[in-house]
Amino acid sequence: MNNLVFHELHQKSRLSIKEVNEVLKAYGLYSSQYSILFCLKRFGSMTQTEIWQYLNVEAPTVTRTLTRLEKSGWIVRKAGSDKRERIVYLSPQAKKKLPEIQQEIERLEENLLIALSDSEQDQLISLLKKICKSTEKGEMNDEPAGANLD
């Protein structure tokens, strides 16, 4: 193969992030912020460590993004079991607005994937997960370790 796979992945990723950012602009959010909100909606409250580990993002980057989300009222951070641990929760504002945002993101996703059948979309997800597993030399979980799944 001509090793165009990662080029294509990168290009499609850039396109999808650009399109998602256009949708999120109306809410004062960016895709990196939405990724965290999505995790909290899907898994429930999480520690900051669980968030950066799940998203494969450096801890300082997540901390800065959480600070912005907290200042703008999307999340609440509370002390954890020790002085350093911080547990992150969706704010009431986020719980109220996220269903609307998710509907818009789902519409965008449908438009981006319109050329793929349901089985092709399932295959794409499976192949992307397979790539991640091989790059991490082990299993990559769909759920963060220790996440509250309620």
Tens of pLDDT along 67-84?
Answer: 999 999 999 999 888 878
**Adjacent-strand bridge partners of 78:** 87
Q: Is residue 74 part of a domain?
A: yes
At residue 78, φ and ψ (nearest 5 deg) are: -130, 155
Q: Which of 24, 26, 25 is nearest to 38 (CA)?
A: 24
Q: What residues are paired with 86 via a beta bridge? A: 79
Residue 103 and residue 100: Cα distance in Å, rounded? 5
What is the pLDDT confidence band of residue 99, given thresholds at 50, 70 and 90? very high
| In-domain check, residue 115 | yes
Residue 7 lies in a domain: no
Inside any domain, residue 125: yes
Q: Is residue 25 a part of any domain in this protein?
A: yes
State the Cα–Cα distance between residues 38 and 36, nearest whole angstrom: 5
- Give the domain extent around 40: 13-134
More confident residue, 59 or 148: 59
Q: For residues 146 and 47, is the Cβ–Cβ distance under 8 A? A: yes
* Structural tokens at position 34: 């939405």
Is the pLDDT at 148 greater than 50? The verdict is no
Q: Indicate if the pLDDT at residue 63 is higher than 50.
A: yes
* 5 is a domain residue: no
- Rounded to an integer, the average pLDDT of 46-52 is 94
Identify any residues that bridge with 113 across adjacent strands, giving them in sequence order: none
pLDDT for the residue numbered 139: 45
Query: Is the pLDDT at 122 greater than 70, yes or no?
Result: yes
Look at residue 145 and tell me if it is in a domain. no
Helices (H), 75-117: 92-112
Residue 149 in any domain: the answer is no
Count structural domains, the chain.
1
CATH number of the domain where residue 80 is located: 1.10.10.10
Q: Report the Cα–Cα distance between both ends of the chain, in Å, rounded.
A: 44
